[in-house]
Structure 1
Amino acid sequence: MLCFETICVEHRRLKNLSYHEARLNKTRRELWGCDDNWDLAELLHVPNLVDDTIHKCRIAYDKVVGNIQWEPYSRRVIRKIRRVYHDEIDYRYKYDNRDTLNALYAQRGDADEILIIKKGLVTDSNFCNVAFFDGDRWLTPASPLLPGTQRALLLDRGVIETAEIRESDIGSFRQIRLFNAMVDWAQAATLDVALIA
């Protein structure tokens, strides 16, 4: 069972590395009992094929590094979101096996993305953490499927706050924003909540 980290590379620089490193080392400790900490700055060397445009570095690992991939990244367009339901889904760690998530994503119909509801609570989309705007603050679910690195950064900076968000609360918000390690907060897809089917 492999896990992985997806790290944004912009202008040939690895972004938010300390957050990825913290999550990776926590995962290795909790899943495999590793007591050493990897230094990603030492482990990852941006290859010459990566230019100044945005690239994705994907590192798969367990107790050791499985593989490291580098590829150009293009942002997805999200115009509509469909709610999907799964009360037992568990994605506390960034597992390489995404079969359950892929099955939920296949239920999106004519939508571009999904919003996963677990036991009445809003969690995440397929690839992103989410936040809702109430006209004053951006609130992110207190119980995401996976606490993302960008989410951790935004919480530390006070840009977003956590809250328990029930499916029944969605209509009380104005907007939803979808963000992850590859999508800066300012460029993240932001939709009116009316576009959540």
Structure 2
Amino acid sequence: MCRFIETIQVRDGELQHLSHHNRRLNETRKAVFGVSEQLDIRKYVAECPADGIQKCRIVYDREIREVTFSPYRMRQVQSLRLVRADTADYRYKSADRSELEALYSLRGNQDDVLIVRNRLLTDTSIANVALEKGGAWYTPATPLLKGTKRVWLLEQGTLKERDIPADDVYSYSRIALFNAMIDFGALVLDINRDTIIPV
């Protein structure tokens, strides 16, 4: 049976953006398994580590199967390689990351890949992205995964959605990588041909 994951940031003992994680977990359960009963992650997490930043990993299918915590250390990313993957599909946050890992293996000497599907930017292997132009931040309208942090940033008005053709990437000034564990603004690269390597 397919299993799925939620990765939740725990900051000083508090689960961050829990309502967004609950929503995605229950939407996935309904879409994949036809289960309408709503689960609340909080009922399965008795106590969170109290200090610093921790990663809470929830594994589930129809039910929540496993809850684990681990210290979090952000991966350093200083360069990205554009890779084409027109059939890539990661709309649900599956525990099976083999497709993403295969794309990651194409990074060459770069730290990660920036995945291009049907000529449009999507995500890296670990994060959603946003690109800056004229002081505004734009995130791809069709990412591989609609991350919980991405949803929250759109709701806050911090980001706007738009199609970003891979051919236009160098017309933007900076790129930010973010996910449930990487806060927006914590990992930002200037865009040039040393930081984003063409296909």
Provide TM-score, normalisation by structure 1. 0.96
Superposed counterparts of 1:74-85, under 5 Å: 74-85=73-84
Q: Deviations over 1:83-102 (max 9, x none)?
A: 11111011010011010100
Q: 1 CA distance for matches of 2:51 and 2:28?
A: 30
Question: Which stretches in structure 2 are left out of the alignment for 5+ residues?
Answer: none
Q: Deviations over 1:56-79 (max 9, x none)?
A: 000010001221111000011111
Amino acid at match of 1:162: E
What displacement does 1:155 show? 0.2
What displacement does 1:165 show? 0.6
What displacement does 1:136 show? 2.2
Q: 1 CA distance for matches of 2:17 and 2:50?
A: 19
Q: 2 CA distance for matches of 1:117 and 1:181?
A: 22
Q: 2 CA distance for matches of 1:88 and 1:77?
A: 28
Name the SS of the counterpart of 2:185 in structure 1.
Answer: helix
Is 2:3 aligned against 1:2? yes
Superposed counterparts of 1:136-175, under 5 Å: 136-175=135-174
RMSD: 0.9
Which position in structure 1 is the counterpart of 2:181?
182
What displacement does 1:123 show? 0.4
Provide TM-score, normalisation by structure 2. 0.95
**How many residue pairs end up in the alignment?**
194
Runs of 4+ in 1 over 4 A off after TM superposition: none
Mapped contact 2:176–2:185 kept (Cα < 8 A): no
What displacement does 1:53 show? 1.2
Is 2:98 aligned against 1:99? yes
Is 2:39 aligned against 1:38? yes
What displacement does 1:135 show? 2.1
Mapped contact 2:44–2:67 kept (Cα < 8 A): no
What displacement does 1:44 show? 1.5
Name the SS of the counterpart of 2:188 in structure 1.
Answer: strand
Superposed counterparts of 1:15-34, under 5 Å: 15-34=16-35
Name the SS of the counterpart of 2:142 in structure 1.
Answer: coil
Q: 1 CA distance for matches of 2:85 and 2:175?
A: 20
Which position in structure 2 is the counterpart of 1:55?
54
Q: 2 CA distance for matches of 1:18 and 1:78?
A: 29
Amino acid at match of 1:88: T
Percentage of identical aligned residues = 40
Is 2:93 aligned against 1:90? no
